Amino acid sequence: MASLRKKPGPGIQKSYYGDEDTARCSDCHNLSVHDLLAVPKHFDVGVKDTEESMAADTEQVRHRPGLFKQQNKTHKTGRHRSKGQLQKEARGRVGVKSLTTKVKGLLKRQERRNQAYQVRKDKRDEILTKKRSRGAQGSPPFLVAVVSLCKGLDPDAALQLINTCDEDGFVTVNDLGIYHLSIPRFKQRFSFVIPDYGNLYGLLDIAKVADIVIFLVSPESGVDRYGEHCLSCLFTQGMPSSLIAVQGLKLLPVKKQGEAKRMIHRQLEKRFPGVKCHSLDSVQDALVILRSIGSQKLNSIIYRERRPHMLAEDVTFELNDENVTFGTLKVSGYVRGHALSVNSLIHIPGWDTYQMIQIDAPVDPYPLQQRASRSHSVENMISSESTKQMDTSIMILECADPQQQESLQAEVIPDPMEGEQTWPTEEELAEAEESCKKMVKKVPKGTSDYQASWIVDEQSESDEELSDEVRCLGYFSHR
């Protein structure tokens, strides 16, 4: 494109290219390099550099606000000064009462991350410690109660399936009928107790110390009236962790098994939300239940966790003298819950509260690993007497201190020399009766003692008036 340098004249359009004024003839809009010689003489023809023309074309024009631009309202802080104004006036000075971030407990981002990591780690360690507190070597085994909620079920057969579900496991039975099952593959130990059907108080006593309760239900009738009553009492006392096992489900036709499960689910859904019914008819079913017991979360019962408790597995009584009926009761078992102190009192349900002499730690009679290689069968179960003969070493943990031991006195005996005695003695009562003379008043007939106490005696009233008159006369005579 050609640009023409000349003062604008008639028929000339004025345009601006940068800071220079250029003009173009209105008659010759399309000029080429070959037509430059034919341009009229009154034009001063010149060609701009290509770089300058491109720079002028690409330059953006800035927007300049006009008279009608938008005016936004400023923020009104009200009667008080804004935070920014206060900071400007303070000029970096800190008030005397202002607390530092350290005192306020404000943490940085990395510190907050570390704190959250430590909280997660503590919770994880707490859960793992709680899981390892049952079933492992050096901790009490899982105490499981097998309870029948319907008449006609066989809890002994169910326990027999559980005891024989693992080939490497071995069973030990003590004198009180408690079954101890040790499975090295799971690295867990279990203790099973079967309360008698119909003995409600025995069931409640076992549920106080049991970790898990296995409820056996019938596939035909589910839970009977006695079972409902037992569940109500257990929930009132405090229900531990529980499992529902259906015994005899495989005996029903295949088409009726699903219907029986749904019936039991509807019956127990109110008491056990999201209940899962396990079948207990084969060794595989028993192994599934055993795995569920070892991995299930244990419910914490407050009154039980705050106190030490123990299920007696061996009880012996030794007389102090042959001619005396007093002696020492030795109770063996696994202590669960809170730590047990020898200076505290121990309560035996149905008997009384007693003091302890000492706490011993014998060798565990039901270890996780079997001491001798024996074939697993019910006939070759280890008896408690043989385990006592094998392990005779006993370690004394703690002996009672008479100065720190709790007293058996349950009621406070009042001391007559301690504090103020507000109750008067017999001598003081006799003196009060002698000093108080009975005053005879004339009262209307039918007046009660309470009404007579409000009637003022006329004689005393007249004596008061007479004394007032005498005082007045004496006053005037004196004047």
Whether residue 165 has pLDDT greater than 60: yes
Predicted confidence band of residue 110 (pLDDT cuts 50, 70, 90): very high
Q: Which of 148-152, 414-418, 465-469 has the highest mean pLDDT?
A: 148-152
Choose between 172 and 438: higher pLDDT.
172
As beta bridge partners, residue 16 has: 21
pTM of the entire structure? 0.58
Choose between 379 and 456: higher pLDDT.
456
| The pLDDT value given to residue 13 | 45
Amino acid type, 442: K
CA–CA separation, 299 and 247 (whole Å): 25
CA–CA separation, 300 and 337 (whole Å): 10
Quick one: how far is CA 280 from the chain centroid? 33
Predicted confidence band of residue 101 (pLDDT cuts 50, 70, 90): low
| The pLDDT value given to residue 52 | 55
| The pLDDT value given to residue 454 | 80
CA–CA separation, 260 and 220 (whole Å): 7
| The pLDDT value given to residue 96 | 63
CA–CA separation, 228 and 234 (whole Å): 10
| The pLDDT value given to residue 150 | 86
**Residue 243 backbone phi and psi in degrees, to 5:** -135, 145
Range of weakest confidence among 31-40, 75-84, 358-367: 31-40
Mean pLDDT, the chain, whole residue set? 75
The predicted-structure confidence for 207-238, as pLDDT tens digits, reads as follows 888 889 999 888 888 888 888 888 999 998 88
CA–CA separation, 203 and 240 (whole Å): 13
Residue partners of 82: CB distance under 8 A and separation at least 6:
75
State the virtual CA torsion across 283, 288, 293, 295 in degrees, nearest 10.
150
Burial of 405 (0-12, 13-18, 19+ CB in 10 A): middle
Whether residue 120 has pLDDT greater than 90: yes
Q: What is the DSSP letter of 420?
A: -
Choose between 476 and 281: higher pLDDT.
281
| The pLDDT value given to residue 389 | 47
| The pLDDT value given to residue 457 | 61
- The whole-number average pLDDT for the span 91-101 is 69
Range of weakest confidence among 4-8, 200-204, 219-223: 4-8
Nearest CA among 244, 320, 313 for reference residue 279: 244
The predicted-structure confidence for 431-467, as pLDDT tens digits, reads as follows 888 776 666 667 788 888 788 778 766 555 444 454 5
Predicted confidence band of residue 113 (pLDDT cuts 50, 70, 90): very high
CA–CA separation, 160 and 286 (whole Å): 9
- Tokens for 251, please give them: 């005996």
| The pLDDT value given to residue 408 | 82
Whether residue 374 has pLDDT greater than 70: no
Residue with tokens 């503590």: 122
Choose between 31 and 78: higher pLDDT.
78
Amino acid type, 251: L
CA–CA separation, 57 and 79 (whole Å): 54
Burial of 400 (0-12, 13-18, 19+ CB in 10 A): middle
| The pLDDT value given to residue 115 | 94
| The pLDDT value given to residue 281 | 83
Choose between 393 and 293: higher pLDDT.
293
Amino acid type, 134: R
| The pLDDT value given to residue 297 | 81
| The pLDDT value given to residue 15 | 42
CA–CA separation, 85 and 90 (whole Å): 9
Strand order in the sheet with 12-17: 12-17, 20-25, 3-5, 44-46
Choose between 421 and 222: higher pLDDT.
222
Is the dihedral angle over the CA atoms 86, 90, 93, 94 positive or is it negative? negative
Residue partners of 197: CB distance under 8 A and separation at least 6:
148, 151, 226
Distances (CA, A) of 106 to 95, 98, 120, 435: 18, 14, 20, 77
Predicted confidence band of residue 1 (pLDDT cuts 50, 70, 90): very low
Map residue 387 onto helix, strand or coil.
helix
Distances (CA, A) of 422 to 418, 428, 431, 434, 435: 12, 12, 17, 21, 20
Predicted confidence band of residue 57 (pLDDT cuts 50, 70, 90): low
Amino acid type, 413: I
Domains of the chain from N-terminus onward: 3-58 (no CATH), 134-300 (3.40.50.300), 308-399 (no CATH)
Nearest CA among 180, 145, 146, 186 for reference residue 166: 186
Range of weakest confidence among 19-23, 399-403, 412-416, 454-458: 19-23
Whether residue 476 has pLDDT greater than 50: no
